[in-house]
Structure 1
């Protein structure tokens, strides 16, 4: 049985990155403004930069050499005596009460890890915001959309490591991420927590970070391709914490589009049916592309939040709530999102299938 933590346990915020960059400064500045006293920040670049000067005694910069993010996080294990390891990406930054909101859950000895949404910041470009809204869409992320927008407190079985806090003792017992895979390393850690240890991973909307997106289209799709390839391979190997039929939906769509088109060439009736189904799909994508904008237009003022809300959406709901864009920008966002959802489906569907038939990935 895991022992509940003492008051104000020490937290090490671990930031793995390739090289020192401008996003890191934003991340560190936000971390230093946290309303929690007992923490330090471990920055893990391949090589330190002469231009980077630590602005606080809380910051430790440790060169790791050419390691992947999961290997860097494993590396941090021996560099701290903290009770909790808080993983965050260098292109993300936390809200002020990030740690306080997370540490509440560690009072329960059965909770091994805590996570929260990584929402798109208002400062992102239009194409970055479009990428964020593609990920937020139910048509793309399904029940996993809580990774990109605030939803109620719940248990999860798989979660990205860009906003993930874990007991150091458990991380050490599991040998860290203990995998060469990246991305997808978090799947192995979460599977070990929920399957091997039978412990809980809590999602709380108050454990919120802002995460800069990769803009549509090429950078966004490169990320999707990498996710899909690894997810397909993990499904083949039985490495996912849970089997979800929704993983296959983009591939079903892609195969249906290709074979439907071929069959439609030989039959007028099949051609009509094929075009009708394609029209239904495009209509669904359009509806999901404009639905968020319609909700924003209808909301004329922010609603007061109950202080006794059991799901603790708290002030986070207003912090992460997007503001309506101007007419031209809104139209541009809708078009980007519409095309982005379609291209994400096609890219994910193809590379998920490729992962299923892959005999080995480059990390092995």
Structure 2
């Protein structure tokens, strides 16, 4: 048996979908006999990841999305953090490629900003040093777990998608286990291709957060602000144009300032212009999803079923590419 820690890289994909992440995995700087790659096909990512984890032979699981482009040293970095036996999960940010369109880079800039990303913005930017963290800074497209810890916890709650990793990490933290965020452990992923897909993504994020709340956790004040803002806009016509409009004025000013600042950071003035539209789309879509999820959760009180999942081994521990 090799002394180097062994990993199972798990990638969920829709049936027949392309797995562009594999191209980068072929070139990583890690002993070939110390990692395997499993691709789980299906339409329920939580189920897919759990089924692949159950078949994994590595000491550690590393979850990527089908388009997560990893740096060559990512398993080396993860292995270094897992040397501490109290560390249950390790991950880093998901960054927007410079080759993305102006619209996509505006989506990424919004996620990475205080106004758009809030407490989860470090999922989308490289900031600070290696640190112990909570689920707010970790994201499932770039996240590793100890396999035994993951399986002992029952894996991801299959009633949830998204936010399944947040629920699991919150449970691990309550058990006294540590989570680590490493800014150097970054992947690149393109943002949604157009505004409609972005709106659908944020609605799904909000709904997932609401369903996590139903299951007993995951609600901070910042999570509720978009929903409260949406409700405020609904009653604003009845408040008149006096003091009741002050919050809207403050929001518009904050949007203008953040669009200017984040566009400047991107080095592209067009990003500033697009952000004027992206920020309201982000907040209102997330708020609508949160309200919808609170009112109409998709699960019915029991853990989700298996669905149809096919796990394919792309690379075994024993094989070279």
For normalisation by structure 1, the TM-score amounts to 0.76
Q: Is the 8 A contact 1:285 1:338 kept in 2?
A: yes
RMSD: 2.0
> Compared with structure 1, are the counterparts of its residues 288 and 172 closer, same or farther at alpha carbon in structure 2 (3 Å cutoff)?
same
Measure how far apart 1:281 and its partner are: 1.2
Deviations 1:179-225 (A, max 9, x none): 23211211222122112x32011010011101111134100110111
Q: 1:154 aligns with which of 126, 131, 136?
A: 131
1:300-357 deviation line (CA, Å, top 9, x unaligned): xxxxxxxxxxxxxxxxxxxxxx6x33xxxx32x2222121111111121122122222
Taking the aligned partners of 2:196 and 2:228, their CA distance within structure 1 comes to: 23
1:61 match: none
Q: Secondary structure at the match of 1:94?
A: coil
Task: Say whether 1:131 aligns with 2:107.
Answer: yes
CA drift at 1:360: 4.5
Kindly name which structure, 1 or 2, has the bigger radius of gyration based on alpha carbons.
1
Measured in 2, the distance between the counterparts of 1:248 and 1:292 equals 24
Cα 1:173–1:128 change in 2 (3 A) is same
Q: Tell me how far 1:136 sits from its aligned partner.
A: 1.3
- After TM superposition, give the deviation of residue 280 of structure 1 in Å: 2.2
- For 1:342, the equivalent position in structure 2 comes to 280
Alignment of 1:29-68 (within 5 A): 29-37=23-31, 38-45=34-41, 66-68=42-44
Establish whether residue 277 from structure 1 lines up as the match of residue 247 from structure 2. Answer: yes
> How much has 1:292 moved relative to structure 2?
2.5
- Give the 3 Å change call, closer, same or farther, for CA 17–338 of structure 1 in structure 2: same
Rounded Cα–Cα distance in structure 1 between residues aligned with 2:210 and 2:155: 23
Corresponding pairs, count: 296
Distance 2:8 2:215 in 1: 33
Alignment of 1:1-364 (within 5 A): 7-22=3-18, 24-25=19-20, 27-37=21-31, 38-45=34-41, 66-152=42-128, 153-158=130-135, 159-195=138-174, 197-240=175-218, 243-264=219-240, 271-294=241-264, 296=265, 324-325=267-268, 330-331=269-270, 333-358=271-296, 360-361=298-299
5+ residue gaps, structure 1: 1-5, 46-65, 265-270, 297-321
Q: Distance in 2 between matches of 1:128 and 1:8?
A: 39
Deviation for aligned residue 1:144 = 0.9
Verify the 8 A CA contact 1:129 1:215 in the aligned structure 2: no
Deviation of 1:131 after TM superposition, in Å, equals 1.4
Secondary structure of 1:188's aligned partner: helix
Question: Do the aligned residues in 1 keep the contact of 2:92 with 2:139 (CA within 8 Å)?
Answer: no
Structure 2: where are the runs of 5+ without partners? Answer: 305-321
Question: CA separation of 1:185/1:100 partners in 2, compared to 1, >3 Å: closer, same or farther?
Answer: same
Give TM-score, length-normalised by structure 2: 0.85
**1:67 deviation in Å?**
4.5
Secondary structure at the aligned position of 1:92 is classed as coil
User: 1:145-185: per-residue Cα shift (whole Å, max 9, x none)?
Assistant: 00000122222322321111011111121122142321121
2: CA distance between counterparts of 1:43 and 1:147?
24
Give the whole-Å Cα distance in 1 for the aligned partners of 2:72 and 2:297: 45
Cα 1:277/1:173, change in 2 over 3 Å: closer
In 1: Cα distance, 2:250 partner to 2:172 partner: 41
